[in-house]
Amino acid sequence: MEKKGRRFEKEIKKLAKKLINITQDGKRRLTLSKMGLITIPRFLLKRCDVDELDLSRNQIQKLPETMGTFATLTWLDLHSNKLESVPESIGSLIRLTHLNLANNCLTSPGLPSSLGFLSNLKSLNLGLNQLDALPSTLERLEFLQELALFDNHFTEVPEFVSNLQNLIKLNLERNPCMEAQVESERIRKEQLEQKEELYLVHESTLCKRCLKKCKEEEGENLRNDGKTEKIPEMPEVFEEKETEKKKRFAGLMTPNSVAAVTQDVWRIRSKE
């Protein structure tokens, strides 16, 4: 349920004094997550005693242009709100090392080029948005170690990413570019694993072109086999019937030309 009005802001202001915690590394963190906020309370913009601010899981639709007044912030979490854009003033938060804007409604035009001014940024989370491109100024983030772009609309990996020398983790899962890559790898894997199989078909089921090709390949195999392979002796069960005329299997072809020599020899081998 969305909460509005000065009375609510006064309540939040009073509550905020009790919600400031000291982290293990001595930072002052204020957590206002799940408060039903639709805007950032004005009193927050005047606070300079907070190092980390958690405004996640609210209903915030727009950030004030005065965001730059949070000059002391090193950690800002705005995930799971309703943001469609980020103000240019965010570039003034030069002490930020962690910025989480995941699970909003951000589009590429809504990302300011000033994000490239966050020179101390180590972690940037832009997952679960509607992005298909990033400001080229992000190339300046020389200390960036983690970049999350999962669940967006990227059809290709941003070119500048390869220039981020300290980047050790890039998450592009569930983007069109990754889906295409996964599909390509799947097809390639299937092709590598696919085993050649032998099928016998009647001549009448083949078109003239295929029939001609099969006969040519069969003839070539027979010639090659005569040079490199010795035809094995017939099993005893056939030796007892040497007087009988050997059966031929007229009309049967091997389209993939796996079988060598005559059809009856091939059948004998398959039984072995």
The pLDDT tens digits for 150-200 are 999 999 999 999 999 999 999 999 999 987 565 445 555 655 665 555 556
Confidence (pLDDT) at 83? 98
* Residue 60 · residue 40 · CB < 8 Å: yes
What length is written for the chain? 272
Confidence (pLDDT) at 190? 59
Confidence (pLDDT) at 185? 55
Mean residue pLDDT across the chain: 79
Confidence (pLDDT) at 239? 43
Residue type, 38: I
Tokens of 180: 């295409």
| Beta-strand pair 28-31/20-22 | antiparallel
- Taking alpha carbons only, the member of 172, 94, 174 closest to residue 134 is 172
Confidence (pLDDT) at 99? 98
pTM of the model: 0.65
| Beta-strand pair 169-171/201-202 | unpaired
Tell me which residues of the chain have a pLDDT lower than 70: 1-5, 180-206, 221-222, 224-272
